[in-house]
Structure 1
Amino acid sequence: MVVVQGSKVPLPNPSSLSSSPHPHTSILFEPSSLSLALTHTDASLSLYPSFSPLSLTPSQPHTQTLNIPSPSSSSTFLLLQQHPSAATAVIFLVSSPYRSRILLRFYRLCRRDHSSFERVTRVLCLHKDLCFHPGLGVLLDAKHGAAVRLAASVNYFTLYSLSSNKVWVFAVKDDDGSGNDCSNSNDDDDSGSASGSGGVRLMRRAVIDCARPVFSLSVAFGFLILGEENGVRVFGLRRLVKGKGGNKRFGNSKQLRNGGGVRGGGLEVVNCNGDLEGKMERRRVLAVKQINVKSKHDDRDGGSCFVMLKGNNVNTNSATEVSMSIKAISIQAVSQRMFLILDSHGDLHLLSLSNSGIGVDVTGNVRQLPRTMKVKSVAVLPDLSSMSQTIWISDGCHSVHMFTAMDIENALNETDGNDSNEKLLRLPVVRVLFSSEKIQDIISLSANSVLILGQGSLYAYAIS
């Protein structure tokens, strides 16, 4: 017998907001520390450490809340781990516009008597276009513009600025090697008077010049994936930041061979790695271990591949069909080699990646999944210890559908070699949940539980 447990999640009213709290617009969840971030309509944020929605009751609300004032343009959780046996530190990163530059604020999860997030007030910046101000945060000398996106994994995060047409890849390390230790601070606000927690070092590893807009970012399992128009571009993260052979030298611009994309422009590289040919410049290599790879990623690429998404055809009055462009607006990791792509038309695609050899180019292929509904949001919690991952999709109205990655693989295996596989592909839905409120966002808490953001309320569902 299947039992579905559902409950409304009580949350304290953020003290920095008015007595009538701003509705929530999106949610982020970090599973290793059970940390939750809520974004409000006024672009402020609320951070909840050690968040267990299924165990909270109205009489026992979560109290260790950090309120981050507006404006915030993007945010993400970043994990710091110096070596496999070391403790993992949790960093919450927020971007904001600040005059003509981009402001980055870092908050570390401190585990003392009670877990809480505290602002990091010591960031060592190792590049001239980065500047740290204790009362503000890190200022990146780049245009913020209308859109900035952040994505992070373990020890690395990426930032995309539409106005600057660039993607930056940063590495972050503990500056004092203290891991999760934090200095004593009773001030949870965003002022410059907080004593701050353990410092970090911020290093720029790569810069990508974008000839096309990027609509989504993903950093997971050693891959950097950019969601573009009509497809996704995949970089091997290790090769991008360290190079094929790990030898660092500075070279002139180099036109590279096609990396699997459509015909068009090429890749331009300066300060490139040892595996790329080019004339040597007599410049001194900085003591900081950095490799600045500037690349135009429109079509040809030596260290990445571009994978096309299938466009939708629209019938017109003419005898021909017009192909409509689609945008990859969300990228969710399912496993080490599988990613779900949500496009701007509400269709899902499965991206499967592979390496053609050690340290060489990445290859991939995409299959469009059957359309059971127009998807608005996708949630999946990758777990390498599990045989199959649970995937939740929502139509943005009142329903959430649940299925597994194994269902996808079985459906694809059944249609392999079949010319009419698009018509025969079937994806069974395991469970369907219905919400009384219109759904704005969903987050997977575990293999059998999901957090649903309605219109101002949070609901947690567990299936057993």
Structure 2
Amino acid sequence: MRLHASKLDLPFPSSFSPSSPAAVVSSVLFEPSSRSLSLMLVDSSALLYPSLLSSATPVTVPPPSTAACFLRLLPSATVLFLSAAPLAAGSSIQLRAWILLPRGGSAAAFAPARLDYRNDRGRSAVALPLPHGLSVRLASSVNAFVVHSIAASQIWVFAARLDAGAEATIHLVKCAVVELTLPIYSITLSLGFMLIGEVDGVRVFPLRPLIKGGIRNSGGLGHKKASVSVGDLHKKNLPNGLVIPKSRVKKSLGPDSGGGRCDCRGSTKSSAVETMADGGSSPCKLKTVRLKQDSGDHYSFFVVIRGGEFQTCKGRIGVPSSLKAVCIHILSPKKFLILDSAGDLHVLSLNDSGTAMEPNARFSMISKLTGLHHLDHVMEVQMLAALPDISSKTQFLWISDGGYSIHLISMADTEHAIGESDKDESKHKSSIISVVGAIFTSEKIQEVVPMSSNSCLVLCQVGGHAVLPLERFLS
């Protein structure tokens, strides 16, 4: 397969010149569902493009913007751009948002969005009582995002929803706080899991217990009832989720308790979270769960990415003093690609997320319901890019050694029985990778951003800095 490279010519604001010092790009963010693009510049500002093919002038995000991410909200399929900045000399974090809105037909543009968080209602920016320090991290999934404060050694997990009103208002609810006891080197959110990279492995947190608490459909809760009463929720004694004041519970248990029910339909708490973010009209309130990183609470577990001796891609055998999971990419909702600090790739598969929600299956999941295997490759990988793809058994990855070359490789899963004589023996999963194509650049590669399974954006360095325009590679 032959790879083709082309320059990506993007429109700029009238006051902006691609040759000016302000055009130095520090990183690139891409949102695949809307094909929106963000260029993070070295002056802590950003340029927001509604689409790669749009000719509209981008929206400028004023500095400072020290961390950013795209967030998708369902069922409305709304795309948000979240930006974090230091506030009050770094003692807190300021969170801002821009929403992608349709403007006349198929055209779309980013516009500032209002945020609702606790006492800050309908403001263009909200303050999080979390120290910013030197830097923070943002990571997002569908309807959820996290803020990692390195200074506070905490990860805050948020749920977000779009107000159905005319104004673009986003309601935020802090659902969980993870107290970090060990250093982390990467953080990724998928549809059902939060993965953090640590020394010698990856720690996995199921998102549902962190966001929706402990309500489960056990023996028909929500099956025979059209709604769950406040008294039923109070008896659950949830470690995370709804907390009902006693005065409200007594009223709800009276003979005329029709108005004392919490507006949560079925057996899940998603609508209850939405009700709680509307200004406190419901008798319920949300409680934030707190847990330690290595406690194993809420069905979290640790997966070791190596054990004992290992062979590097250069053929040396040994045990490194510390092997860090520096990058985690999502291949599918239950499959992840891990890059360690030695330049090796590992594939982590979570075979059954539903069983992991059962209390008695927390420890057995590590050995029985997870699969981890190392990819055999020659290159010492420094950068990788991949988009989730569940439509094909063969997945494509873009990898680079951080120099002047990019390789497109295909990965196909295979499995074989460990014992040939016993048909009931467990099967060992592995992946076969093959090089599809390679391309060399005239400048050193700084970042690789996936656009699809067969295209990517590459940010190159010119004179020691990355400048516009970008290069696009298609297969």
TM normalised by structure 1 equals 0.76
Greater shift, 213-222 or 96-105, is seen at: 213-222
The one-letter code sitting in structure 2 at the alignment partner of 1:200 is I
Match of 2:208, SS state, is helix
Greater shift, 355-364 or 5-14, is seen at: 355-364
2:187 to 204, 209, 217: 217
Q: What's 1:239 paired with?
A: 209
1:101 to 62, 70, 92: 92
Q: Does the aligned pair in 2 maintain the 1:311–1:324 contact within 8 Å?
A: no
Match of 2:210, SS state, is helix
**Is the aligned partner of 1:51 residue 2:52?**
yes
- Note the C-alpha offset of 1:445: 1.2
**Is the aligned partner of 1:111 residue 2:129?**
no
Q: Does the aligned pair in 1 maintain the 2:68–2:138 contact within 8 Å?
A: yes
Q: What's 2:340 paired with?
A: 343
2:116 to 105, 124, 148: 124
Cα distance in 2 for partners of 1:118, 1:385 equals 33
**Is the aligned partner of 1:206 residue 2:176?**
yes
The one-letter code sitting in structure 1 at the alignment partner of 2:470 is L
What's the CA shift string for 1:404-443, capped at 9, x where partnerless? Answer: 231xx23xx369679xxx9x98632121122111111111
The one-letter code sitting in structure 2 at the alignment partner of 1:111 is P
The one-letter code sitting in structure 2 at the alignment partner of 1:221 is L
Q: Does the aligned pair in 1 maintain the 2:245–2:284 contact within 8 Å?
A: no
- Note the C-alpha offset of 1:322: 5.7
Q: Does the aligned pair in 2 maintain the 1:49–1:64 contact within 8 Å?
A: no
Q: Does the aligned pair in 2 maintain the 1:312–1:323 contact within 8 Å?
A: no
Q: What's 2:452 paired with?
A: 446
Q: What's 1:150 paired with?
A: 138
2:72 to 65, 71, 79: 79
**Is the aligned partner of 1:92 residue 2:62?**
no
Q: What's 2:300 paired with?
A: 304
Cα distance in 2 for partners of 1:177, 1:119 equals 15
Q: Does the aligned pair in 1 maintain the 2:299–2:357 contact within 8 Å?
A: no
Cα distance in 1 for partners of 2:93, 2:183 equals 18
Q: Does the aligned pair in 2 maintain the 1:250–1:272 contact within 8 Å?
A: no
The one-letter code sitting in structure 1 at the alignment partner of 2:474 is A
Q: What's 2:374 paired with?
A: 368
Change in 2 beyond 3 A, CA 1:212/1:132: farther
Higher share in helix: 2
Greater shift, 111-120 or 239-248, is seen at: 239-248
Q: Does the aligned pair in 2 maintain the 1:64–1:116 contact within 8 Å?
A: no
Q: What's 1:295 paired with?
A: 291
Q: What's 1:261 paired with?
A: none
**Is the aligned partner of 1:386 residue 2:375?**
no
The one-letter code sitting in structure 2 at the alignment partner of 1:35 is S
Higher share in strand: 2
Q: Does the aligned pair in 2 maintain the 1:47–1:117 contact within 8 Å?
A: yes
**Is the aligned partner of 1:359 residue 2:347?**
no
What's the CA shift string for 1:219-248, capped at 9, x where partnerless? Answer: 112111112222111111112222343486
Change in 2 beyond 3 A, CA 1:103/1:273: closer
Q: What's 1:159 paired with?
A: 147
- Note the C-alpha offset of 1:118: 0.7
Q: Does the aligned pair in 2 maintain the 1:16–1:67 contact within 8 Å?
A: no
The one-letter code sitting in structure 1 at the alignment partner of 2:448 is I
1:330 to 327, 330, 336: 327
Q: Does the aligned pair in 2 maintain the 1:244–1:359 contact within 8 Å?
A: no
> Aligned-residue CA RMSD in angstroms?
3.3
Q: Does the aligned pair in 2 maintain the 1:234–1:306 contact within 8 Å?
A: yes
- Note the C-alpha offset of 1:389: 2.4
Match of 2:168, SS state, is coil
Q: Does the aligned pair in 1 maintain the 2:159–2:175 contact within 8 Å?
A: yes
The one-letter code sitting in structure 1 at the alignment partner of 2:170 is V
Cα distance in 2 for partners of 1:251, 1:162 equals 34
Cα distance in 2 for partners of 1:138, 1:97 equals 12
Q: Does the aligned pair in 2 maintain the 1:248–1:273 contact within 8 Å?
A: no
The one-letter code sitting in structure 1 at the alignment partner of 2:357 is G
Match of 2:394, SS state, is coil
Which segments of 5 or more consecutive residues in structure 1 lack a partner in the other structure?
Answer: 53-60, 179-196, 253-270, 275-279
Cα distance in 2 for partners of 1:214, 1:223 equals 16
Q: What's 2:471 paired with?
A: 459
Change in 2 beyond 3 A, CA 1:6/1:41: same
TM normalised by structure 2 equals 0.74
Match of 1:28, SS state, is strand
Larger Rg: 2
Paired residues in the alignment total: 392
- Note the C-alpha offset of 1:399: 1.2
- Note the C-alpha offset of 1:273: 4.7
Q: Does the aligned pair in 2 maintain the 1:44–1:67 contact within 8 Å?
A: yes
Q: Does the aligned pair in 2 maintain the 1:241–1:291 contact within 8 Å?
A: no
State the identity as a percent.
38
- Note the C-alpha offset of 1:16: 6.0
Match of 1:239, SS state, is helix
Change in 2 beyond 3 A, CA 1:125/1:16: farther
Cα distance in 2 for partners of 1:448, 1:307 equals 30
- Note the C-alpha offset of 1:141: 0.5
Change in 2 beyond 3 A, CA 1:164/1:404: same
2:57 to 47, 59, 64: 64
Cα distance in 1 for partners of 2:162, 2:345 equals 38
Change in 2 beyond 3 A, CA 1:144/1:243: same
Change in 2 beyond 3 A, CA 1:206/1:39: same
- Note the C-alpha offset of 1:393: 1.1
Cα distance in 1 for partners of 2:179, 2:98 equals 29
Match of 2:292, SS state, is coil
The one-letter code sitting in structure 2 at the alignment partner of 1:347 is D
Q: Does the aligned pair in 1 maintain the 2:2–2:437 contact within 8 Å?
A: no
Cα distance in 2 for partners of 1:249, 1:96 equals 38
Cα distance in 2 for partners of 1:168, 1:241 equals 11
Q: Does the aligned pair in 2 maintain the 1:312–1:325 contact within 8 Å?
A: no
- Note the C-alpha offset of 1:359: 3.0
Match of 2:286, SS state, is coil
Cα distance in 1 for partners of 2:201, 2:79 equals 32
Which segments of 5 or more consecutive residues in structure 2 lack a partner in the other structure?
Answer: 217-231, 250-275, 277-282, 312-316, 421-427, 462-466
